Structure 1
């Protein structure tokens, strides 16, 4: 008997040692797989029964009627109130002739009206374009036009009304509505729906108003940076909205949780994940107009926040902010977000005593993402050999100069080795579909890579590079070619280049992102080739005109922080700009012997950049 027990104990011990040494990722995989199975079953049930995100919200509202759903500027809006406002707006919209299958745009700041407008349109089967409130002029006009919106709905902010008024003559037959009461500050072309909303019935909308809508239909359009120079409306289906609402389940979310949301609602992170977890789990969302480092933890303390939603740049600001009374005087148990790099992660966790961090990677267009459930510093997740097979995610070598994957003698892509940057690609299949972009078939096609590992296969190109260590943890490395991330926003290099090159004295512009010590993401830099190729130094008038062009035509975060002037911009044999060397040289005056300028954000001017200025930027004495 003792011999048998000893043998069993030895076998168990040997198995444990084998797993510990050879398969350390297996226990984590089992936990993750268990979650995925439960998650998958729930999603499939919703698809089969045609349960939409708005159906889930109505069920949640019935369960948590008087519980606060949104707290905004210290005012609470219960689940029942949000539901009734959504019902009112849906009824008013029907009276305006807006019907199932139409598209409308909402241009609003972070405010409760954004949420009930979105939900109201969901109730009648209308797809909603979430327009970035930073956009102006040509970019704004493009976004509204390409979305196919038949109406624009706004709520507050005289600058937003002015932005629409500036392009109104080019909006053709798009109707303009405001939920605010009409006043002298609002241009007369905007029709106020304030009185209509006051008198509208707040009963639930009959479900037949969305009878033909299913999980594959478009719920909303979320704009991403355009590789052709202008934003692309990514199609977000009802199924993808449903998936977004599950992300917080990784941190065992309950209705008792309170989420602090200061990210812009026009992004998928705040809307699909933040508002999504509220609509699904009954979580209260403390909605902030915008991120403020000085108010962040004080607001979290005052509202008993238990979860926060971040982007990496936000965490860096918080770490670098002066010590505050509420840094550790809070109830935050988990932070979830993306872009938190290794150098900030530990400092952030230590300074603010936040026990758990869930770093994830995802893109609005991508049908799948990664998430780090093990608190592994800097990682976006772990993809073991088992999960690589199950999830069909691959990382392949990429030539950044030629802007394409590296292929072997047989024309097949080559898997990236440990610590070698590789392009994330995902198998295109029924389970991982790619909805692409509305009215942009060209952009949709460019996101697909063919004949990757065998003839005829098709993969989705994430546009992002990662590397992994020997333990199969994956880390974000860089964003490819035509986009970079700055101030928590994606910036299209082509859009910025096109706008600068509109100036008559400029023949060509190459835009790219450069690393700045102490800053998250990459700061925009434009290398400019003047029309007079013999002239290397720009005149004061040229600099002034570049300033005005950037300030007037670009979002504030998209204005290049650095300018470089050159005789010639190098290109490949296929006429693509070569950016690798320019990125590497950055804004270092000891390396770059051509004229350099930096954007003084305080004075909104481009000033000459020399060694002293460069050092001050690197030491964060000058903020960009």
Structure 2
């Protein structure tokens, strides 16, 4: 027996004691009136049984406070796995598209997409996607299995087009609509796409890479009625004229669960974005994400995360197909309009990344902050202090923080609501999807190994690298590039010959088995909810004619999630740094979140003995001009230039007056 450590535990003890005393008193009074030993013995046994049943839940709650939540999670996990296995056994092959077709029959008139005051039911969506598929079948040379690149923002046409391509049996590469020029061409080429379908507003970006696309014989369709650009075909008229009759299932007859379904691009530590391959099996598994968090058909989901992103596509879109929910689709996130739209559309479920909740907390307080129907927020990357502030301000919203990666084979979810945690160690989950935290040498950027050459598991309370065993249940498909795939495989972890997925993330498990995210290894940092690869940014900077070398890293800004980009550059002999030209260059080649906000001019870029750029000291020194003697510049959007960094600007940033 141990002393209770909390008020709740103390109350449980008092209830147990009072209950036992009460039962004893009742039994004693009864036995004084009835002297039959047999009857008394029976009553003793009955009272003990009832006492045990009464106090057992209280005792369990006191000494194992999460036992019931653990039990419900296990039951939910088993239910989800059973549903997945049963679907895997269905003949003919059951895919995500088939689940959508089921919903369009069962709930034909139910709203599926609400966008800018226009509503599309499940049946409307089915028919619109049929029109696009029939138009493609008639006017293009697409064949089942051909990859198509989709270059669109958040709009219903994105969803219609993806469903159409799924009906044609074509895998789809989801291109980030922020990328331009070299990055856009790279992303298109690495998935070997035969066709590019782009939104009308992205015509200029398409025209930048059009000469290269034409050289490859690639067809380009623009979602507009007419296009005068040679090599780009307007596609909207063809869609409107097409039939909305269903397409034959035979078009998908050659698809297997191992067939690629999606290419989603993720920034790594080795340069340009990597195309993560998601096969049909992985996509089918994604159906369970919203369902397993308690989302139901009557829920209304607010989707403002980009559809080219894993969170927006797999959780918001694919997850809604499973639950039969309604999606409120928005082009971009707007903190000022977020709650007004949630009230307008009676939203019950919202998605977030850490930045989203912080932006909401930074908006001016209003009297109706708690007047909404949102009951569930699903996402990742929120800091504990923002989490608390969000709940205190906006009410009793259940925050479901999770951990996952686009290409990874392990996922964690905080089903207990413990603020700050990304998950909890669970015996069955760890047996089905074996993972571990191993000791990691951040200086050498590699796992620590013992004298036998095997990795060393990090003890509780210590930060370690998350690795997950690659098995039939938890496969790792990897990337379109086989070399990039091999770099994420870690061998000889706990036994000679075993194979694990290297997440690249540092986590920590506390004494109560809660798991917390700590940091990312390598050169990637996260800003505005996007991963930024420092080598990609450095490559772009060195294309400037006066830049000799560039060392890119992320620095922390008080009051902001993640780290913002900064670059230490050296200028060629006889040249000078030009802020106007630098701004013009990075704005042309990089999306806003990847552009270095600060630039530091150095005489030489420091390297290690193995010629690796040294970043640790630069990160620690940050962007304070008072502690740095090198010239410092800050990106000024209004002036469209990099201008000298001053102490006054630095103070305004730290105070939160200047927003980054």
Q: Tell me whether the two structures share a fold, i.e. TM-score over 0.5.
A: yes
Q: Distance in 2 between matches of 1:287 and 1:258?
A: 10
Query: Residue 603 of structure 1 aligns to a residue in which SS?
Result: coil
Residue 586 of structure 1, aligned match among 609, 613, 622: 622
Where does the alignment leave 5 or more consecutive residues of structure 1 unmatched? Answer: none
Q: Distance in 2 between matches of 1:25 and 1:455?
A: 36
Q: Deviations over 1:467-505 (max 9, x none)?
A: 222211112111222211111111111100111122343
Q: Deviations over 1:409-458 (max 9, x none)?
A: 332222223343221111011111111111x1111000111111121111
Residue 161 of structure 1, aligned match among 170, 178, 203: 203
Map 1:178-189; keep pairs closer than 5 Å.
178-182=222-226, 187-189=229-231
CA positional deviation for 1:319: 0.4
Distance 1:207 1:297, change over 3 A: same
Structure 2 residue aligned with 1:127: 171
Query: Residue 173 of structure 1 aligns to a residue in which SS?
Result: coil
CA positional deviation for 1:88: 1.3
2:532 pairs with 1:491: yes
Aligned residues between the structures: 614
* C-alpha RMSD of the superposition: 2.1
Distance 1:386 1:12, change over 3 A: farther
CA contact (8 A) 1:66 1:78 kept: yes
2:243 pairs with 1:201: yes
Residue 176 of structure 1, aligned match among 220, 223, 231: 220
Residue 552 of structure 1, aligned match among 562, 566, 588: 588
Query: Residue 295 of structure 1 aligns to a residue in which SS?
Result: helix
2:89 pairs with 1:53: no
Q: Once structures 1 and 2 are overlaid, which stretch shifts more, 192-201 or 584-593? A: 584-593
Map 1:273-422; keep pairs closer than 5 Å.
273-324=315-366, 326-384=368-426, 387-422=429-464
CA positional deviation for 1:290: 0.3
CA contact (8 A) 1:298 1:326 kept: no
Distance 1:74 1:17, change over 3 A: closer
Query: Residue 60 of structure 1 aligns to a residue in which SS?
Result: helix
CA positional deviation for 1:285: 0.3
Query: Residue 316 of structure 2 aligns to a residue in which SS?
Result: helix
Distance 1:9 1:592, change over 3 A: farther
Q: Once structures 1 and 2 are overlaid, which stretch shifts more, 336-345 or 502-511? A: 502-511
Structure 1 residue aligned with 2:562: 521
Q: Distance in 2 between matches of 1:413 and 1:304?
A: 51
Q: Distance in 2 between matches of 1:540 and 1:146?
A: 34
CA contact (8 A) 2:580 2:640 kept: no
Structure 1 residue aligned with 2:548: 507
Residue 488 of structure 2, aligned match among 426, 436, 447: 447
Query: Residue 294 of structure 1 aligns to a residue in which SS?
Result: helix
2:289 pairs with 1:247: yes
CA contact (8 A) 1:102 1:126 kept: yes
Map 1:429-440; keep pairs closer than 5 Å.
429-438=471-480, 440=481
Structure 2 residue aligned with 1:192: 234
Q: Once structures 1 and 2 are overlaid, which stretch shifts more, 570-579 or 391-400? A: 570-579
Q: Distance in 2 between matches of 1:21 and 1:585?
A: 47
Q: Distance in 1 between matches of 2:484 and 2:398?
A: 38
CA contact (8 A) 2:414 2:423 kept: yes
2:116 pairs with 1:79: no
CA contact (8 A) 2:305 2:351 kept: yes
Structure 2 residue aligned with 1:92: 135
Q: Distance in 1 between matches of 2:534 and 2:72?
A: 41
Q: Distance in 2 between matches of 1:17 and 1:456?
A: 47
Q: Distance in 1 between matches of 2:625 and 2:440?
A: 30
Q: Once structures 1 and 2 are overlaid, which stretch shifts more, 246-255 or 160-169? A: 246-255
Q: Distance in 1 between matches of 2:398 and 2:62?
A: 26
Q: Distance in 2 between matches of 1:565 and 1:36?
A: 53
CA positional deviation for 1:244: 2.0
Q: Distance in 2 between matches of 1:399 and 1:572?
A: 16
CA contact (8 A) 1:257 1:306 kept: yes
Q: Distance in 1 between matches of 2:48 and 2:611?
A: 70
CA positional deviation for 1:19: 4.8
Structure 1 residue aligned with 2:500: 459
Q: Deviations over 1:308-352 (max 9, x none)?
A: 011111111110011246522211111111111112001111211
Distance 1:436 1:406, change over 3 A: same
2:201 pairs with 1:152: no
Q: Distance in 2 between matches of 1:530 and 1:405?
A: 36
Query: Residue 460 of structure 1 aligns to a residue in which SS?
Result: strand
Distance 1:11 1:573, change over 3 A: farther
CA contact (8 A) 2:432 2:473 kept: no
Q: Distance in 1 between matches of 2:87 and 2:604?
A: 57
TM-score normalised by length of structure 1:
0.94
Q: Once structures 1 and 2 are overlaid, which stretch shifts more, 61-70 or 419-428? A: 419-428
CA contact (8 A) 1:226 1:495 kept: no
CA positional deviation for 1:616: 1.4
Structure 1 residue aligned with 2:257: 215
Q: Distance in 1 between matches of 2:312 and 2:150?
A: 15
Q: Distance in 1 between matches of 2:622 and 2:457?
A: 29
Structure 2 residue aligned with 1:576: 612
Structure 2 residue aligned with 1:539: 576
Q: Which has the larger radius of gyration?
A: 2
Q: Once structures 1 and 2 are overlaid, which stretch shifts more, 122-131 or 504-513? A: 504-513
